Chain A
């Protein structure tokens, strides 16, 4: 069982659909993250949760809505997305205060918006 599990691995959705991405970490970490990865671009931090409280929202459009019900689970709810939102969405976790504070990533959800 891998440390950080993401489902689904692939998702195709229309612009009017509503879908959710799921992430689960089995590492006992206290921080979780959503990143967007587009081809040939740096990773973009979308949301950070620390101890289940959202601590950062990097000006992400409201069509992306995160949810962190507990320290092991993280969701990203998607609605009325645009084609430019097509990308790989990565979930990560870390133990705050770790030296160094390494990120552990899931394998991502490859999202295509038609």
Chain B
């Protein structure tokens, strides 16, 4: 079967750096997405990786290793507003999105 694994919950300190990991086993691969979802709000697109390597976008970066079935989302200079759930999703060979259960990130002052 197809599976996406990511930690259920993480805690980090304001101003610090946090890395949220995502591992996947899917039938084929057509890209990996990260979405951010604040409590009670809509998930919003953060990043997309289809080739190996690091994509940087301001304080957020996303890394992909297709051979290892692994990605991470790196958040730098954490702010309180970064407290949210982070959803990892992989597009399989049929262009279907397979979702992880999400990682709830708690930022403490």
- B42 near A102 with CB under 8 A, answer no
- B100 near A102 with CB under 8 A, answer no
Within A81-114, the residues touching B (CB, 8 Å) are 90, 100-108
Q: How many residues of B contact A (CB 8 A)?
A: 24
A114 to B27, CA, bound (A): 38
Specify the chain B residue showing the minimal Cβ separation from A3: B42
Q: How many residues of A contact B (CB 8 A)?
A: 17
Query: Total A-B residue pairs with C-beta atoms closer than 8 Å?
Result: 42
Chain B residues with CB under 8 Å of A45's CB are: 96-97
A74 at the interface (CB under 8 A from B): no
B87 at the interface (CB under 8 A from A): yes
Query: B residues near A, CB below 8 A?
Result: 4, 8, 31, 33, 35, 40-45, 48, 50, 87, 89, 91, 95-102
The 5 listed contacts between A and B (C-beta, < 8 Å) are: A45-B97, A100-B50, A101-B95, A103-B45, A106-B42
